[in-house]
Amino acid sequence: MATSNAIEQLKEALKALPGVGPKNAQRMAFHLMERNREGAQKIADALNNALERIISCQRCNTFCESEICDICASEKRDKQLLCVVETPADLQAIEQVGAYRGLYFVLMGKLSPLEGIGPEQLGFKRLNAIVAENQIREVIIATNITAEGETTADYTQQMLAPYGISITRLARGVPVGGELEYMDQRTLAAAFKDRRATS
């Protein structure tokens, strides 16, 4: 083989990017080394910086660079509203709509028996404690409208049922199989507005 070990290692490493297979990884590796070494350096630096600085909010679990994220620390958010999402990307998608003014809880995943992800692997214990220890009038479950997301929503709903507070779920304005992160803002806003009470 003509190429260097360093190129082979880089191709291998780039396959960790979502949606990037061997052919695409090769194209990226050559492109960066041939034509954009400055860009390659920026990616390496940004990755190291992110790995070093990004931690989880002690309260809601989302990405942040301090103990408590800006949303949890804000005086302007309605602390009696709690929106449960799967990932920080989902939280960001909802924030970009700008219609929700409560707090969040990020599960950091979804229940997935096939992948060995049960309630213990996600943040349900802390979610339970938050609902137990705070005055919350409504929990909005905003997991993805996928099989695993719905299972996660069902579990959340059952876990919180004993508290006798209002529990709602996003209206199925979000197309079945869709993921919040890629939804257009109007669909997401409508789904928020039409959230339905659970039994």
- Binding interface with a second copy (CB under 8 A): 1-7, 9-10, 12-14, 16-19, 23-24, 26-34, 36-37, 39-51, 53-54, 62-65, 69-71, 87-89, 91-92, 95, 108, 181-182
Calpha distance 141→149 (Å, rounded): 10
Interacting residues of 127 by C-beta distance below 8 A, sequence separation 6+ = 84, 105, 107, 156, 159, 160
CB of 63 or CB of 155, closer to Zn ion: 63
Residue 11 vs 59, nearer CB to Zn ion = 59
Nearest residue (CB) to Zn ion, 112 versus 128: 128
- β-strands 166-169, 196-197 pairing: antiparallel
72 binds, options a second copy, Zn ion, none, Cβ within 5 to 8 A by partner type: Zn ion
Instruction: Give residue 72's identity as a one-letter amino acid code.
Output: C
Q: Which does 33 bind (CB under 5 to 8 A by kind): Zn ion, a second copy, none?
A: a second copy
Q: Which residues bind Zn ion (CB under 5 A)?
A: 57, 59-60, 69, 72
Could you tell me the smallest distance in angstroms from the CB atom of residue 90 to a second copy? Answer: 9
- Smallest distance, a second copy to C-beta of residue 163, A: 26
Name the residue nearer to a second copy (CB basis): 32 or 188: 32
Shortest spacing between CB 129 and a second copy, in angstroms: 22
What the block records as the tokens of 137 is: 């009038």
Q: How far apart are CA 98 and CA 170, in angstroms?
A: 16
Q: Residue 80 binds what, of Zn ion, a second copy, none (CB under 5 to 8 Å, by partner type)?
A: none
Name the minimum Å distance from CB 171 to Zn ion: 25
Rounded to 10 degrees, the C-alpha dihedral 32/36/37/40 comes to: -60
Q: Which is nearer to a second copy, 4 or 134 (CB)?
A: 4
Nearest distance from residue 159's CB to Zn ion, in Å? Answer: 20
Alpha helices in the chain (DSSP H): 5-14, 22-35, 37-53, 70-73, 88-97, 124-133, 147-160, 185-193
Phi, psi angle pair for 63, to nearest 5°: -65, 135
